Structure 1
Amino acid sequence: MSLNEQMEMTGEGTRPHSRAAKRCLWGGLRQQWRLLGLFEISPQHEFYDLTCMMKEGLQAAVQNTIDNPPPDELSEEDFEMEVTQIHESFRMETFAGPVFAWLRRSLGMSERDYQQSLATTQGCYLQFISNSKSKADFFLTNDKRFFLKTQNKREVKFLLSNLKIYLEHLERYPHSLLVKFLGVHRIKIPRQRKKYFIVMQSVFFPDERIEARYDIKGCEISRWTNPAPEGSQVIVVLKDLNFEGKQITLEQQRPWLIRQMEIDTAFLQRLNVLDYSLLLAHQPLHRDERAMGLSFASVIMRTTKSVNPGCSPAHSSHASVPGAVLEEESTLLVAQVDRATARCRVMETYHEDGLRQDPADGEASVTDPGLRELLAQNRRLLPSTKNPLHVIDGRELRYFVGIIDIFTVYGFRKKLEHLWKRLRYPGQSFSTISPPAYAQRICQWVQGHSQ
């Protein structure tokens, strides 16, 4: 069935019984697929028409940014821009397009690659059926690189109203664990409700070898999920209580993780939000991956990625990557390998004007204020892998870590919910607490479950 034929099913003249038959067919399949977690959206799927529209709309929206590249410096107009593109059976609006194109570029993403992932005709989108209480629908691109999630109008307005300080946070802390939002759109279909959706970078990418996935909130009420049967291909995202008795083993990188959690949750506290999740997954490191991480060539490549993970615009006169440094201020991450323990120690050094080092004790002190600011950015030596901002390698395991779902504001209704849960669950921990308490608790969870 062609794309136009699929779109005509949503327009005038659609026979009622064709929709009913489609829902009936999907209803039967849904029972079979409910536990699978992730599956292709085929032509019989209830969201096939919608995802076809998403693909067509995103193809045109990204083409617009290819034809009109974002400026090196963003303006107020860029944050407020709304572009409407008219298609045969729907309209799609893109919000703050230049801003998100700027962010994608700063993360080293090619617009052509981004367009190819979102709008390829070589594969269907995938639906992820989560155990979340949210009414949102979750989709993945066929290569599993990007998440598309439906949002309500309030959540979209919240993101757009805080977009500037979100970018400022990523500029100041370029290795932030916050999920990277890459686009905000709205589809208008005649005689149907408007559908808002956002595009995000997937924290769990690449996921071919991931063994376990967790959604962590740092509390205990409703924080257990029945695991998939052993040997099953079912994808289940587990929760806090499933992780009890386990540890995130990072060794030298543990202080970085704890510090970055404190930085990112302080930002979310500033936004007055709660109920966000720490996504966590792990997979075993192969022997060659562990050895590669210590090789000289790998350290050089990782150093380059850590200092400048994106691709600078051809004619940009300043650093384009959030928090990236100019060449004359560049940081060099030097690795020292202890061959007896196979451990790698990384030290940061700078040009002579900014660093004073005493050869006797090996201690280095930064005297330049700008370089002190770079140290405050809490950078780390990024792994030589895809999706490096959300990947942390331990001794035996590779961890995928990111913070998602940052739209729940601690308003009047949440305060009432907090009071009710205090009565309902005395002496137990639950998710609805004040933003300062929430931030402190999830940071304490990381401290208590890492080594």
Structure 2
Amino acid sequence: MTVVVPVDDDINDIGPNSNYKVESPKEQRKKEAIKRQATLPHPLKPKVVVDENHQSYFLVFGMLTGIKTSVIEASKKAKTEISPEDFTYTEKLKIDSSGKILKEGEKYDFEFKDYAPNVFKKIRENSNINCDDYVKSISDKFMLLELSSPGKSGSFFYFSPDYRYLIKTVKYNEHHHFFKNLEKYYKYLEANPNSLIMSIYGLYRLKADGHKMYFIVMQNVYPPNKDMHRMYDLKGSMYGRFVPLPSEEKNYARTIFKDKNWTDENRHLILGPDKRKLLLEQLEKDSKFLQTMGVMDYSLLVGIHLRNKGNSENIRSRLLATFAAVLATVKSKNSNKKGSVFERRITNLPDDDNDKNENENENESEKKDESIFNNEDGGFISTNENNEIQNEAYYMGIIDYLVPWSFKKFIEHYFKTIFLFQRNISAVNPKDYGKRFYKFAEDKIISPLPNEKTEIIKEPSTETTN
């Protein structure tokens, strides 16, 4: 199996001139615990191919095997209406290192827990996501691309090889709070197909070697076939919300800027009266719902695609080429072998697409849901006051909405505002956070008037889709 993750420093590396001393059993156990924690990749190390000899191998293998197996098993069950019991149901799978599902009492390497599988199956169906296509996207080549740097939360992010889905590790309290409010979340998404809240397609826990990892699978805001020429993460907070400008122009498209950058540039989403009204109404509705969920710290992720540039800079192509390069390396290493360990091991996994040809799967993957915010070439195209098409296309979604308002957040808010005299911070209660988020969208994100400098494109774009 092959996964792209960074290398961790050897925690126990001892130099030739170091003063070595005998460690107590307690110190040794502590080091072993730290070493197990290090199986979560470090964001600042170079990316390498991880095979069965790497310390992260079994952890990531268990994660991907569990997702693939649980989704396929859920797809075999007859379609039924969602019942109240489905929102609290969990299913445990015990898996060995070959990917085989074991019976009770057999020795296993991983314990994979799938939360509310029928509910998330229904969410995927409501988004027109085919089971075979979903499994193929996430685990067909058992590879992941790690985002270069995690957020302040300490979570790690991984893209599927086709860039359609995101796997994110979450904290236990976030996982628990979301599962507790799952029914409310499901009913809201079902009643609001135009919601900008990015859908979560799976809620999981992996237990291996005494370590528990909680994670989710969600849709990617940005499409795999469009270059993003500017990207922003907007919360409506100004404190600590500035990213230093890159020294080279080419790196602007690779940087996710924040609120202070947005206002400093005097940037707005350029929308005519009809689209402006639609977007503001949906953002207000979504922010009010998130207040009822008791969460805060979420943001609106915005990608700006310039239609006159198209994909001429090949930003997305270069990213996806990372996977092709790694695959070529792995194949060359195993070219003289009967089959790699990974190839032998995945033969025990359920077969999900042998009866489907590639063209059929490709057609399925192009299906879009019916949201008005992604039905124009996968996004929301800018317009002027006369509703004429302009040059910018927007790809947007509300992300990171799992953080509950807790005692820890209350203390953070109190300390920063009373002792450090900080204002406009992220840590505020859900009601105030939601109101501020919407107010920022109304005043700063969406333009009150169209930008006269923006070029109008009266004919459909002929951009390339590299």
TM-score range, shorter chain: 0.5 to 0.7
Match of 1:116 among 133, 136, 140: 136
Amino acid at match of 1:259: E
Is 1:55 the counterpart of 2:64? The answer is: yes
Per-residue CA deviation, residues 35-94 of structure 1 (Å, 9 max, x unaligned), is xxxx676448764443222222222111102211441x1012222222222221212111
Amino acid at match of 1:100: F
1:116/1:104 Cα in 2 relative to 1: closer, same or farther (>3 Å)? Answer: same
1:86/1:416 Cα in 2 relative to 1: closer, same or farther (>3 Å)? Answer: closer
Is 1:422 the counterpart of 2:422? The answer is: no
Q: How does 1:116-195 map to 2 (within 5 A)?
A: 116-121=136-141, 124-130=143-149, 132-189=151-208, 191-195=209-213
Counterpart position of 1:250: 271
SS in 1 for 2:161: coil
Q: CA deviation at 1:197?
A: 1.0
Q: How does 1:359-398 map to 2 (within 5 A)?
A: 380=372, 382-386=374-378, 391-394=379-382, 395-398=390-393
1:40/1:124 contact within 8 Å kept: no
2:230/2:252 contact within 8 Å kept: no
Is 1:259 the counterpart of 2:281? The answer is: yes
Give ranges in structure 1 of 5+ residues lacking alignment.
4-15, 34-38, 290-307, 311-323, 325-378
> What is the RMSD computed on CA atoms of the aligned residues?
3.1
Q: CA deviation at 1:119?
A: 1.1
Deviates more, 1:421-430 or 1:76-85: 421-430
Per-residue CA deviation, residues 260-307 of structure 1 (Å, 9 max, x unaligned), is 110000011112221111111111124999xxxxxxxxxxxxxxxxxx
Deviates more, 1:98-107 or 1:423-432: 423-432
Give ranges in structure 2 of 5+ residues lacking alignment.
4-30, 97-108, 312-366, 383-389, 448-466
Q: How does 1:245-394 map to 2 (within 5 A)?
A: 245-251=266-272, 252-286=274-308, 380=372, 382-386=374-378, 391-394=379-382
Per-residue CA deviation, residues 383-416 of structure 1 (Å, 9 max, x unaligned), is 2434xxxx31112111111111112222333222
1:104/1:77 Cα in 2 relative to 1: closer, same or farther (>3 Å)? Answer: same
Q: Which runs of 4+ in 1 moved over 6 A?
A: none
Identity of aligned residues (%): 26
Rounded Cα–Cα distance in structure 2 between residues aligned with 1:233 and 1:220 = 20
Amino acid at match of 1:254: R
1:31/1:437 Cα in 2 relative to 1: closer, same or farther (>3 Å)? Answer: closer
SS in 2 for 1:157: helix
1:56/1:381 Cα in 2 relative to 1: closer, same or farther (>3 Å)? Answer: closer
Aligned length: 336
1:398/1:2 Cα in 2 relative to 1: closer, same or farther (>3 Å)? Answer: closer
Rounded Cα–Cα distance in structure 2 between residues aligned with 1:63 and 1:401 = 30
SS in 2 for 1:144: coil
SS in 2 for 1:194: strand
2:2/2:50 contact within 8 Å kept: no
1:211/1:309 Cα in 2 relative to 1: closer, same or farther (>3 Å)? Answer: closer
Is 1:404 the counterpart of 2:399? The answer is: yes
1:65/1:97 contact within 8 Å kept: yes
Per-residue CA deviation, residues 183-237 of structure 1 (Å, 9 max, x unaligned), is 0111121x32111111111112236411121111111111011233322488322
Rounded Cα–Cα distance in structure 2 between residues aligned with 1:446 and 1:200 = 23
SS in 2 for 1:278: strand
Q: CA deviation at 1:111?
A: 0.4
1:250/1:170 Cα in 2 relative to 1: closer, same or farther (>3 Å)? Answer: same
Rounded Cα–Cα distance in structure 1 between residues aligned with 2:414 and 2:193 = 37
Is 1:66 the counterpart of 2:88? The answer is: no
Rounded Cα–Cα distance in structure 2 between residues aligned with 1:288 and 1:94 = 40
1:40/1:125 contact within 8 Å kept: no
1:42/1:124 contact within 8 Å kept: no
Amino acid at match of 2:130: S
Is 1:231 the counterpart of 2:250? The answer is: yes
Rounded Cα–Cα distance in structure 2 between residues aligned with 1:42 and 1:144 = 19
What TM-score do the two structures reach when normalised by structure 2?
0.66
1:226/1:95 Cα in 2 relative to 1: closer, same or farther (>3 Å)? Answer: same
What TM-score do the two structures reach when normalised by structure 1?
0.68
1:398/1:418 Cα in 2 relative to 1: closer, same or farther (>3 Å)? Answer: same
Match of 1:76 among 67, 78, 84: 84
Rounded Cα–Cα distance in structure 1 between residues aligned with 2:110 and 2:406 = 35
2:416/2:422 contact within 8 Å kept: no
